[in-house]
Amino acid sequence: MKITEHIKTANGKTLFSFELLPPLKGQSMDGIYKTIDPLMEFKPPFIDVTSSREDLVYKEAQNGYLEKVTYRKRPGTVAVCAAIMHKYGVDTVPHLICGGFTKEETEYALIDLQFLGIDNVLALRGDARKTDPGFIPTKGGHSYAIELQQQIADMNKGIYLHDYEDTSYKTDFCIGIAAYPEKHFESPNLKTDFRHLHTKVKAGADFMVTQMFYDVNKYKEFVKLCRENDINIPIIPGLKPLTSKKQLVSLPKIFHIDIPENLSDAVHACKDDKEVREVGIEWMIQQCKDLIECGAPVLHFYTMGNAGPTKRIAEAIF
């Protein structure tokens, strides 16, 4: 079922969902199931599974020279989605990214998803490789999420990359996009970023999921901006409870977000990460209550493989 239908049938009730990373290459699905099992009691209608592009590593060759090797740490997004759907009977939302994939590979992934009965995708540009100074598109791939989104929208109209065969079958994907209430870090300002977001919505995006944030006012202002500009699709807030002191530095650095002074002061005052975890959970419980009050359609948690804090918050909220 499409995310938009889940939201519609919830009739104003806020839903619970979460995001997972595929296991590291060479590991089994057990870790994923360990994260999912404790959260199923909160009846998530869908679970997101992230995708990652290849990284470059330098390996010493026999002749002593360094050899450049490309390496994907967490392949398997489509298979992980299928396994979760099969085991738990919930919808899954695979993240599709531009980086690391040619348009043909993307088309084949979408055909796999359609065969599997997966109705939703989140169309993203994807992060840059760690060794690159910024995002470098893959040869034969897309440069921006909008191009990927258009490829999916084309398949929804029965338009494929090459028409050597009868490829008129129309897929019916519900397409999600990423949104940044505090702006995307590469954008010179919120207005420019918003203009690109507006284009993606007008090109047919069905829902958006936000970057994490810790100040509900940022979400409220962003929703207001969208609604004032005729953007009426669901805006799902992305949430990540703080669990350690070092995240005061790492989260703003990685995700380009602000941590409100009250929260950072409270975390600084903690004697250890056990206390930080409690502060993070309490903050997020309040944040969730505020989000429900302002009509957020879904509370979407970035679990990062750790179900514990999300479970505590869901127990207090749902």
- Interface residues toward ligand FAD, by CB under 6 A: 50-52, 95, 97, 124-127, 144-146, 178, 184, 186-187, 193, 196, 209, 211, 238
Report which DSSP code applies to 133. S
d(CA 280, CA 285): 9
The smaller minimum CB distance to ligand FAD, of residues 88 and 144, is found at 144
Cβ 111 to ligand FAD, closest distance in Å?
A: 20
For residue 296, give the nearest of 230, 213, 228, 202 by alpha carbon: 213
Q: Phi and psi at residue 221, in whole multiples of 5°?
A: -65, -40
The smaller minimum CB distance to ligand FAD, of residues 7 and 276, is found at 7
d(CA 95, CA 251): 21
Cβ 122 to ligand FAD, closest distance in Å?
A: 6
d(CA 235, CA 77): 23
Cβ 6 to ligand FAD, closest distance in Å?
A: 17
Cβ 271 to ligand FAD, closest distance in Å?
A: 33
The smaller minimum CB distance to ligand FAD, of residues 78 and 178, is found at 178
The smaller minimum CB distance to ligand FAD, of residues 61 and 254, is found at 254
Residues 313/281, Cβ–Cβ less than 8 Å: yes
d(CA 120, CA 10): 17
For residue 239, give the nearest of 169, 181, 160, 177 by alpha carbon: 181
Cβ 269 to ligand FAD, closest distance in Å?
A: 30
The smaller minimum CB distance to ligand FAD, of residues 73 and 184, is found at 184
